[in-house]
Structure 1
Amino acid sequence: MADLFSDDPLQAPAANAPREDAPLADRLRPRDLGEVIGQDHLTGAEGAIGRMVAAGKLSSMILWGPPGTGKTTIARLLADAVGMRFESVSAVFSGVADLKKAFAAADKAAQAGQRTLLFVDEIHRFNRAQQDGFLPFVERGTVTLVGATTENPSFALNAALLSRAQVLILQRLDHAALSELLDRAEGLEGPLPLTEDAHDALVASADGDGRFLLNQAETLYNAKIENPLDPAALGGFLQRRVAVYDKDREGHYNLISALHKAVRGSDPQAALYYLARMLTAGEEPRFLSRRLVRMAVEDIGLADPQALVQCMAAKDAYEFLGSPEGELALVQACLYLASAPKSNAAYKAMKSSFRSAKETGSLMPPQNILNAPTKLMKEIGYGKGYSYDHDADEGFSGDNYWPEEMEPQTYYTPVDRGFEREVNKRLDYWDKLRRERGAG
């Protein structure tokens, strides 16, 4: 990869070269920002990091991205590039005492004219109070904070801390970036014992994680394999990579959002893909069955009343069969929803009627439709003049059922799709009768 910068600050060598027996990932760790792979949108001349380094001044930042994309490496190289002292803590292993020690050392260095870059790995693992502890030191410039996180900062970090730091998003390494990383490994260690197809399969298995890819390559080198492996043999030799998916974290919500929107968008192929992503990653099938029910009533409703029936049947089938057989029922329900006619008329009707109910408070229904179980209630007019619809022509009285202080409202407007087309015809017919009988 060609160097992205030619200025001297970016080409400053890393302070500590790795030992010859260090892991492959350490030996291939970039020595300057120009060697960082796959993050040109940040480290390039027009990127946020490139501009800060060119100016020789860093602002506090949060590096947010998947595992193995270079967050720790970039933080170390940033300190070297602008001549700052590097201090590192991990939220997994460090506590309040470690933070106090780091801040004290930064204070002492500042008195000697040395600026400190404080790198906090897994910063989202610090609780809210610990995160607040960074604020005074960041505000007075004792440290320039560089936090690394795999979690969405909007959920994982305090708003006060986010307001003082720029969030920079690292991208998962694409096929080209991972291939380049593997080329560097082969340039250092020699060709991997793989066929061309197996080479591509190895890159694909990394799922955007450069560190994982290099660890797999090192395993192959250490095995001293004589004959090149094809994709099938490679799959049997190396462990299968499990997709990054935390069931209570952002990946969970991203995929369920994608599934819901693919169903709503009537794309059964994409919907099935996201359903498969979640199931193969270990998502709880009962959670998915609940979400499918939600989709049936929110996005299909009476356009196809069978959608809800299908989803409830799929839930029962899964409970009866268990996994993995029962997952086929969830697949069937998902495909039914995605291919069904869509309507959110019932969902919109619910929202508008709930809003109206809150706004109108305790208005009484008209007396003629009130129940009158006691003599007193009958005497004061409850139920008087009620028209029993089954006794009326066509089973429809056309009575007014709204409170006297309230004009009739329209909450539910069926779409002209699926079964709701028929519902629309019924409503139009009753409106016609109501107008005729009202006029009479």
Structure 2
Amino acid sequence: MSDLFDKAPATGPDTAPRPLADRLRPQRLSEVIGQGHVIGPNGPLGVMLESGTLSSLVFWGPPGVGKTTIARLLAHETDLAFVQISAIFTGVPDLRKVFEAARHRRANGQGTLLFVDEIHRFNKAQQDGFLPHMEDGTILLVGATTENPSFELNAALLSRAQVLVLERLSHDDLERLAQRAEADMGRPLPLTAEARAQLLDMADGDGRALLNLAEQVMAWKTEAPLDPTSLQARLQRRAAQYDKSGDAHYNLISALHKSVRGSDPDAALYWLTRMLDGGEDPRYLARRITRMAVEDIGLADPQAQRVCLDAWETYERLGSPEGELALGQAVTYLSLAPKSNAGYAAYKEAMRAAKTTGSEPPPKIIRNAPTKLMKEQGYGKGYEYDHDAEDAFSGQNYFPDGMKRGVYYLPKERGFERELKKRLDWFVSLRAKRKKGQDE
């Protein structure tokens, strides 16, 4: 059974050609390119190996950054049996067999490092199934996920494993990997310097993708190094890493929102187009952009919300890709508009007060009295019609009787809210004047 999961050595000569990415798989942790913050001498894995106390781990990072390789090398350097499974193809019966084999190894004096790829694909019950085997030392679990563990993994499992974040490979890391590929194949990539840089960009931080691209390029018969145009004609750019329901979705919409809030139209347009290029639904973006207008601009520029709604309608009429330009224009307008969250903050504070005061009724003075009984109860008695008052302002109390007057809306000295603040201050002074007259 264990042959299904253990990486046992081949029993005969391996004459099949091996992909470049497999041939260049590091044999020691020191050969791993990138992730120095994790595997370096002062990184968490470096410290664990130095102290001889390796704990269960969860590797969180994008594809092609070395999660599987590092797990395999950890098993090698700690003399643990390496067992690899994928949550996509493994069911409960398979897990039982894995745990049983690990118990036999442990009885024979050898531990097991169980590497679970796509661990977030296991449901809660399946994740809970790992816990007793982690606690009694049957397995040392190393999970790999591209999704945020905070949302996808059980708190119980996370409390027993350390989450290590692996980062996409930098341009320098990819260059080192390209050089390693050239050394293996005994010749340089047939590319100009500009085309070489373009190839690294196409990999988009994914080392495995780079090696696959490099292997394709090396197979071409060329008389001279290829320029960027020739390379682009022969290779398709790798699809951007973007999951419309995953962590990248939330990271990029957060980046877009904060760029708008930070009054940076260039950054805002960059994140908007990143999301569109990744296949995000423009209607979702139209809705979120409109929310930005309400939340971060508000009455500092009342026109901002209208601009967003018009852009939304324009997209609905034109569709993609022409309608997406209207969304870009809305994002640019919002970025350059005066900012105020006073309306948003006032709404939240009023909601807090509403929840606190519960069912307090309006004062009788402002209740309608359509029946005789209601009039006898004092509904509407003493109400002053504001249009008949001086300055069309009576200064009456509109909060529940006995409730301290709330002050929620505090307009900023920016944009149109500057004018609203003047009006608000004027009404505050009139209210104080009316109250003083009533007291006298």
Shift of the alpha carbon at 1:227? 2.4
| Pick aligned residue for 1:188 from 180, 184, 192 | 184
CA–CA distance in structure 2, aligned partners of residues 385 and 370 of structure 1: 11
The range that moved more, 352-361 or 173-182, is 352-361
1:331 matched to 2:341? The reply is no
The range that moved more, 149-158 or 374-383, is 374-383
3-state SS, counterpart of residue 179 of structure 1: helix
CA–CA distance in structure 1, aligned partners of residues 134 and 364 of structure 2: 68
| Pick aligned residue for 1:391 from 369, 388, 391 | 388
1:18/1:34 Cα in 2 relative to 1: closer, same or farther (>3 Å)? farther
RMSD: 1.5
Shift of the alpha carbon at 1:392? 1.5
Question: Deviation digits for residues 330-370 of structure 1, max 9, x if unmatched?
Answer: 01111111111111111111111111111112222221211
- Amino acid in structure 1 at the alignment position of 2:237: R
CA–CA distance in structure 2, aligned partners of residues 400 and 116 of structure 1: 73
CA–CA distance in structure 2, aligned partners of residues 108 and 39 of structure 1: 34
Shift of the alpha carbon at 1:18? 7.9
CA–CA distance in structure 2, aligned partners of residues 91 and 409 of structure 1: 54
The aligned counterpart of 1:305 is: 302
Structure 1's consecutive aligned runs of 4 or more residues displaced over 3 angstroms after TM superposition are 14-20
1:20/1:177 Cα in 2 relative to 1: closer, same or farther (>3 Å)? farther
- Amino acid in structure 2 at the alignment position of 1:304: D
3-state SS, counterpart of residue 200 of structure 1: helix
The aligned counterpart of 1:104 is: 100
Question: Deviation digits for residues 85-138 of structure 1, max 9, x if unmatched?
Answer: 111111111111211111111100101101111111111111111111000000
Q: Does the 8 Å contact 1:15/1:80 carry over to 2?
A: no
Alignment of 1:10-25 (within 5 A): 21-25=17-21
CA–CA distance in structure 2, aligned partners of residues 52 and 436 of structure 1: 72
| Pick aligned residue for 1:411 from 408, 411, 423 | 408
TM-score of the superposition, structure 1-length normalised? 0.95
The aligned counterpart of 1:133 is: 129
The aligned counterpart of 1:9 is: none
Q: Does the 8 Å contact 1:88/1:118 carry over to 2?
A: yes
CA–CA distance in structure 1, aligned partners of residues 348 and 361 of structure 2: 21
CA–CA distance in structure 2, aligned partners of residues 210 and 62 of structure 1: 20
Shift of the alpha carbon at 1:20? 6.8
Q: Does the 8 Å contact 1:363/1:405 carry over to 2?
A: no
Shift of the alpha carbon at 1:242? 1.0
Shift of the alpha carbon at 1:215? 0.3
1:280 matched to 2:277? The reply is yes
CA–CA distance in structure 2, aligned partners of residues 157 and 406 of structure 1: 46
The aligned counterpart of 2:247 is: 250
Q: Does the 8 Å contact 1:118/1:146 carry over to 2?
A: yes
What runs of 5+ residues in structure 2 fail to find an aligned partner?
Answer: 1-7
CA–CA distance in structure 1, aligned partners of residues 424 and 272 of structure 2: 37
The aligned counterpart of 2:150 is: 154
1:202 matched to 2:170? The reply is no
1:19/1:160 Cα in 2 relative to 1: closer, same or farther (>3 Å)? farther
3-state SS, counterpart of residue 342 of structure 1: coil
What runs of 5+ residues in structure 1 fail to find an aligned partner?
Answer: 1-13
The aligned counterpart of 1:400 is: 397
The aligned counterpart of 1:362 is: 359
Question: Deviation digits for residues 174-219 of structure 1, max 9, x if unmatched?
Answer: 0000000000000111111111110111011111000000000111
Shift of the alpha carbon at 1:402? 1.9
Alignment of 1:236-247 (within 5 A): 236-247=233-244
Alignment of 1:339-350 (within 5 A): 339-350=336-347
Shift of the alpha carbon at 1:438? 1.7
Question: Deviation digits for residues 222-256 of structure 1, max 9, x if unmatched?
Answer: 22333211011111111111110000000000000
1:64 matched to 2:60? The reply is yes
- Amino acid in structure 2 at the alignment position of 1:155: F
CA–CA distance in structure 2, aligned partners of residues 57 and 380 of structure 1: 78
Alignment of 1:369-384 (within 5 A): 369-384=366-381
1:36 matched to 2:32? The reply is yes
Shift of the alpha carbon at 1:379? 2.2
CA–CA distance in structure 2, aligned partners of residues 225 and 138 of structure 1: 54
CA–CA distance in structure 1, aligned partners of residues 60 and 377 of structure 2: 69
The aligned counterpart of 2:4 is: none
Seq. identity, %: 62
Question: Deviation digits for residues 31-83 of structure 1, max 9, x if unmatched?
Answer: 11110000111111111112222233321101111100001011111111111
3-state SS, counterpart of residue 244 of structure 1: coil
The range that moved more, 220-229 or 207-216, is 220-229
The aligned counterpart of 1:172 is: 168
- Amino acid in structure 1 at the alignment position of 2:141: L
Aligned pairs, how many? Answer: 427
